Amino acid sequence: MNIPEWSSDVVRERADVSCLICGRGLGQIERAEGKIHLIEPPETVNAAHLVRKSGVGMACSHCGGRAYVGPLERIARYAA
Ligand SMILES: [Zn+2]
């Protein structure tokens, strides 16, 4: 198997964000080219939104619980 060479141009990392209290999905965090941005979760009954709460940081809009960021997974962006 050929392992491609990673460069900062093609590597993205994504992590699932979920609520530690109610377990709702809060979207994903994506890191690419040194920048981090948030991917909103699909609108489902099991989804809530990330909110910023003083003293807590990122929290769940549904119950106010602390957001948990899962392990970053590398995903490749293939050139068209
Ligand atoms: Zn919650």
Would 70 be classed as within a structural domain?
yes
Would 5 be classed as within a structural domain?
no
Question: Higher confidence at residue 1 or residue 19?
Answer: 19
Would 44 be classed as within a structural domain?
yes
pLDDT at res. 34: 84
Would 57 be classed as within a structural domain?
yes
Cα(35) to centroid(ligand 1), Å:
26
Residue 60 pLDDT > 90: yes
Would 79 be classed as within a structural domain?
no
Would 31 be classed as within a structural domain?
yes
Residue whose C-alpha is closest to residue 32's, from 59, 5, 6: 6
Cα(21) to centroid(ligand 1), Å:
5
Number of domains in the chain: 1
User: Which range of residues forms the domain containing residue 29?
Assistant: 11-74
Would 24 be classed as within a structural domain?
yes
Cα(33) to centroid(ligand 1), Å:
30
Cα(78) to centroid(ligand 1), Å:
35
pTM here?
0.74
pLDDT at res. 62: 94
Cα(14) to centroid(ligand 1), Å:
21
Which tens digits make up the pLDDT trace of 11-57? Answer: 889 999 999 999 999 999 999 888 999 999 888 888 899 999 888 78
